[in-house]
Structure 1
Amino acid sequence: MRPTFRALARYLEPGTPTGLTGLWTHATPRSTLLFLYGSTLEKLQSLPATSLYRQSVEAVTKHRLALVEQFTPPGHEEWAAKARELHLPGDERVEEWDGEENEGGELEGIRTPAERADQAVWSERKALEDHDKIEWADEPQLTADQIHELEQKIGAGLIEEVIEVAEGELKIIEAMEKAKVWEDLEEKPVEGQWTYFDRT
C-alpha cells in the first residue's frame, strides 16, 4: 500500500519509504531506466538473433524504453540545452584517456642527463585541483503524477521495482552470455525427458 505522502506529493523525495520493505524512492528514475534499457539492448547484441530469450527481452525492453521516453520532466529542454553547451565539440575536459603511459614513481639514485630532461616538465605541471571543474546540474525530476502514469503504463508495480527488474535483467544477460545457453547440451537428454504427463 502506498504511503499517503507519496500519493499527495508533487515531486517524490529521494530516499523516502515507498511502502515496500527495503525499497526507497529513487532519485532519478527516468535517466536510470534510459541508461539500463540502453545497456540491455546493447548487451543483447552479443546473443544470437535467433535466440528466443534475446527476441523476447528485446521486445519488452524496446516497449518500456519507448514508454519512458514519452515522459519528459518540466524544465528538461532547458537542462538539455545547458548540457549541450557544456559539452561543445573539442572540449578537452570530456575527452577520453588517449593511452598516455603511466609515469610511475620516481627512480632512485643518480640520473642521466636524458632522465633529468623531464624534470622541467614535471615542475611545470598543474595539480589536478587547479583545473576547472564542470558544474553539472542534475536532470529535472519527473512529477509524481508523471511517475504514477508511467507506472500504470508499464504495469509492473512501482517505478523502483521496475528499476530493480531492469538491473536484474542486465545481470541475467551476462550470465546467459557466459553460459552460452543457445548452444546444444553437452549431454543429450534421454528420449522423453522433456515430455510431461501426456493425457492420451
Structure 2
Amino acid sequence: MLRHLFVAKNFGVPTLTSLRNFPGRDAKWCTEMYENLYVLHHQRARDKVSPDFHKKTTGLCGLYVNESPHKELRLLYRRILRVMDMIPAGNQYRVATEEIVKHRLSLVEEEPDIQKLEQKIGMGQIEEVFQQAEYELQTIRLYIQFKCWEPLVEQAEEGQWRWPIAPGP
C-alpha cells in the first residue's frame, strides 16, 4: 500500500511524484501524521515557551526549552543522591558522582539566573545539563541492578587493565 502512495505510473514506468497528485482517498493518509500523538506531543513541547522567556529554542533537534530548570534540576539531583545511597560508601563511582552532583546542586540553589548558571556549570545549555542528569540517573540504576561494585566472577586476564593497548615485554 505504501509503495503506491509514492510511485505513480507514467506510461508504465514508475516515477516519484508529489503526494498532492494522488486522488482524495490517499489524501487522508497524508494528514494522519499530524494527528499522531507523538508528533502532537513534540509540537506542544516546542510551542509552550512563554513569549517573555529569554529564548524560544535550544537550537538542538528534539531538545525543547525548559522554563523551570531550577525546580526540575533540584528534584533530579536530589533523586540521584537518594539512589546513590544504595551503592556502597567507599565505591569510587559513588564518591566521584556524589561530588559532581552536590557541586551542581549547590550551584542550582545559589544562582537564580539561568544564563549565569549555564556558565558556572560549563556543560552547555541548561536543557543539556538536565538531559545529562537524566542519563546519569539511568546509569546509576543500571549500576545498582548489575551490582558493578562486586568483585569479578573469575580472574581477569594478564594485562587486561593495562593502557595503552600495546604488546608488553
TM-score, with structure 1 as normaliser: 0.54
The one-character-per-residue Cα deviations of 1:35-80 (angstroms, maximum 9, x if unpaired) are 00000011101101111100000000000000000134xxxxxxxx
- Equivalent residue, structure 2, for 1:33: 73
Alignment match, 1:158: 125
Q: Which runs of 5+ in 2 are unaligned?
A: 1-50
Of 122, 136, 139, 1:169 maps to 136
Please state whether the residue corresponding to 1:185 is helix, strand or coil.
coil
Equivalent position of 1:184 in the other structure: 151
TM superposition shift of 1:18: 1.0
Match in the other structure for 1:82: none
The residue correspondences of 1:29-68 to structure 2 (distance < 5 A) are 29-68=69-108
Maintained 8 Å contact 2:87/2:94: yes
Counterpart-to-counterpart distance in 2, 1:199 and 1:188: 19
The CA RMSD over aligned residues, in Å, is 1.9
1:17 CA drift (Å): 2.1
Letter in 2 for 1:11: F
Deviation at 1:195, TM superposition (A): 2.1
Whole-Å Cα distance in 2 between the matches of residues 198 and 10 of structure 1?
61
Partner of 2:53: 11
- Over 3 Å off, 4+ runs: none
By how many angstroms is 1:167 displaced? 0.6
**Which structure has greater strand proportion?**
2
> SS of 1:11's equivalent?
coil
Q: Does 1:149 align with 2:102?
A: no
Distance 2:114 2:156 in 1: 47
Alpha-carbon distance in structure 1 between the residues aligned to 2:167 and 2:101:
35
5+ long unaligned stretches in structure 1: 1-8, 73-145
1:79-98 correspondence to structure 2 within 5 Å: none
**2:160 matched to which residue of 1?**
193
Separation in structure 2 between the aligned mates of residue 163 and residue 42 of structure 1, nearest angstrom: 17
**What one-letter code is carried by the residue in structure 1 that aligns with 2:135?**
G
TM-score normalized by structure 2? 0.64
- Native 8 Å contact 1:12 1:25 kept in 2: no
Question: How many residues were matched structurally?
Answer: 117
Task: Answer 1 or 2: higher relative contact order, Cα 8 Å, separation at least 6.
Answer: 1
Q: What fraction of aligned residue pairs are identical, expressed as a percent?
A: 41
Which is richer in helix?
2
Deviations 1:77-124 (A, max 9, x none): xxxxxxxxxxxxxxxxxxxxxxxxxxxxxxxxxxxxxxxxxxxxxxxx
- Distance across 1 between alignment mates of 2:111 and 2:158: 52
Which residue of structure 2 aligns with residue 103 of structure 1? none
> What is the DSSP-based 3-state SS (H/G/I as helix, E as strand, rest coil) of the residue aligned with 1:40?
helix
